Amino acid sequence: MSESEARPSNFIRQIIDADLASGKHTSVHTRFPPEPNGYLHIGHAKSICLNFGIAQDYQGQCNLRFDDTNPEKEDIEYVESIKKDVNWLGFEWSGEICYSSNYFDQLYGYALELINKGLAYVDELTPEEMREYRGTLTEPGKPSPYRDRPVAENLAQFEKMKNGEVEEGKMSLRAKIDMASPFMVMRDPVLYRVRFATHHQTGDKWCIYPMYDFTHCISDALEGITHSLCTLEFQDNRRLYDWVLDNITIESQPRQYEFSRLNLEYTVMSKRKLNQLVTEQLVSGWDDPRMPTISGLRRRGFTAASIREFCQRIGVTKQDNTIEMSSLESCIRDDLNENAPRAMAVLDPVKLVIENFGDTEILTVGNHPNKPEMGEREVPFSRDLYIEREDFREEGNKKYKRLVLGKEVRLRGAYVIKAERVEKDADGKITTIFCTYDADTLGKNPEDGRKVKGVIHWVSAEKALPAEIRLYDRLFTVPNPGAAEDFASTINPDSLIVMNGFVEPSLAAAAPEHAFQFERMGYFCADNKDSSAEHLVFNRTVGLRDSWAKIAD
């Protein structure tokens, strides 16, 4: 981690400070517990920065623990991607990676303890009947007819479940708490269910799998977690978290604290919806640069530092709110404006011929206007160039500061040119712009006092490299696509526009994810999957300014 500035406090840090001051804890131990059923997204980045950041700042520990209790939806691919994302964001977990499945034997033992204490029973209600018996927010539930089974019978039935003698959905182990509780989570929640699925860590050893609420608190206790941080939707679950730990024989008593999850405009954070985008091929994969996944943001060109800065700026509170996409984009603009070298690329080329120019010259151009320490590069300048089609008009008004027929403009880092005439095809489309140049204007203004206000970028037609340019934009057209009846119907048809342009020769060796500011066009990076020396591919990370703000205005 490179940031050394003091981090702002928040209510969680205040709790930790108080716990350390009172002697309740002598050290801090947090954990990040993702379920390996998909790729991590920007919301998880907030939790990663919080849990690992607190451990760093308090010289404590943070575990990476996979909540792997649902083998039907989990995959080792997701495990590997999560490890990669945590490391890429700049964090290291303490000790070995943890898995909830590491504790299946202990969890089974604690389930037996609850049965023996009369606090858990094997239920034979179907899932539909269980929902019916549970009641509503305004009406209490009613007890299952199996709720008062003798302990010995519960033990025998649970053993059958464990031995694979019970079909899926026929039996479950439930906690015996309070069917009249105002909190639905306390109305005899399921602790174990039967699943005949091969687990990516334990294979076929188990055919009963514990539920999250039973597993999570015990895993925290077994690992010596001091502060178990999770998002607000688990606030009511804290009652069950405490109930389980209070009723089993376990030494450690961690405490759960909740903070608001990250909601970001123009995205969906639901793993179910993200998975739908992938499986229905509405995007190219979990790492599609339009996805809010960490791997997608990385592929698009977001830096780890910009994401950490974003998480720091939005802070940690208990109040749910939605963050504007411009806040995230501002972080990457600030980062790349400072750190990205400049380069020239033409996305929609039209040929420009300088009729009075001779042989190709090699010009020296700075890599950053404000950072001479970033060095210089050599750029070939030739008689035939490419410029952006939008940078030329046959006629222009006073506001148009680019090339106009009969007028002058400066080529970035090169000479002043004047447009003399054009050639067009049969459809009236301009194919070539013919110009003259002032040979005495390299690096200086014309000597006769002519003022040339406009500056445009260019590449040499002879030396430039062809490149596929992918212009990524927001995936959805509405700020809250998740609220739509069919969220997929709000996908932005212009979220990806592919153009075939040209880039200056220095970009031949652009490394994957290496960021550049393409002069006047935005921030781009070499694609980390498809780009190669034989076929250059650059992804637009973000424009030079917020184009959506103009739309909103």
The answer to whether 31 is annotated as binding is no
The answer to whether 494 is annotated as binding is no
Taking the C-alpha atoms of residue 448 and residue 430, their distance in angstroms, rounded to an integer, is 32
In tens, the pLDDT along 445-490 reads 888 778 898 999 999 999 999 999 999 999 999 999 999 999 999 9
The answer to whether 41 is annotated as binding is yes
> Given the DSSP bridges, would you call strands 376-381 and 361-366 parallel, antiparallel or unpaired?
antiparallel
Catalytic pick among 7, 13, 35, 147 = 35
Domains 104-210 and 262-344+463-553 share a fold: no
Catalytic pick among 83, 271, 401, 418 = 271
Tell me the pLDDT of the chain (553 aa) as tens digits: 444 445 678 999 999 999 999 999 999 999 999 999 999 999 999 999 999 999 999 999 999 999 999 999 999 999 999 999 999 999 999 999 999 999 999 999 999 999 999 999 999 999 999 999 999 999 999 999 999 999 999 999 999 999 999 999 999 999 999 999 999 999 999 999 999 999 999 999 999 999 999 999 999 999 999 999 999 999 999 999 999 999 999 999 999 999 999 999 999 999 999 999 999 999 999 999 999 999 999 999 999 999 999 999 999 999 888 999 999 999 999 999 999 999 999 999 999 999 999 999 999 999 999 999 999 999 999 999 999 999 999 998 888 999 999 999 999 999 999 999 999 999 999 999 999 999 999 989 888 778 898 999 999 999 999 999 999 999 999 999 999 999 999 999 999 999 999 999 999 989 999 999 999 999 999 999 999 999 999 999 999 987 666 544 3
Taking the C-alpha atoms of residue 208 and residue 101, their distance in angstroms, rounded to an integer, is 12
In tens, the pLDDT along 190-222 reads 999 999 999 999 999 999 999 999 999 999 999
From 449, 451, 444, select the one nearest 408 (Cα to Cα). 451
The answer to whether 25 is annotated as binding is no
The answer to whether 262 is annotated as binding is yes
Helix (H, G, I), strand (E, B), or coil: what is residue 326?
Answer: helix
Return the bridge partners of 468, or none. Answer: 500, 537
The answer to whether 154 is annotated as binding is no
- Which overall architecture, per CATH, does domain 262-344+463-553 show? Beta Barrel (2.40)
CATH 2.40.240.10 fits 348-457, yes or no: yes
> Chain centroid to CA 460: how far?
37
Taking the C-alpha atoms of residue 319 and residue 311, their distance in angstroms, rounded to an integer, is 15
What CATH topology corresponds to 104-210?
Answer: Glutamyl-tRNA Synthetase; domain 3 (3.90.800)
Active site residue 468: no
From 235, 143, 257, 236, select the one nearest 182 (Cα to Cα). 236
Structure tokens at 398: 């006073």
The answer to whether 271 is annotated as binding is yes
Report the 3 state secondary structure along 250-290: CCCCCEEEEECCCEECCCCCCHHHHHHHHHCCCCCCCCCCC
DSSP state of 92: -
The model scores a pTM over 0.85: yes
Active site residue 273: no
How many CB atoms neighbour CB 439 within 10 A?
11
Q: Are 341 and 516 in contact (CB under 8 A)?
A: yes
In tens, the pLDDT along 275-306 reads 999 999 999 999 999 999 999 999 999 999 99
From 478, 484, 263, 463, select the one nearest 379 (Cα to Cα). 463
The answer to whether the Cα torsion of 267, 269, 273, 274 is positive or negative is: positive
Q: Are 499 and 347 in contact (CB under 8 A)?
A: yes
Active site residue 429: no
Q: Are 412 and 458 in contact (CB under 8 A)?
A: yes
Catalytic pick among 84, 160, 195, 261 = 261
Domain ranges of the chain: 104-210, 262-344+463-553, 348-457
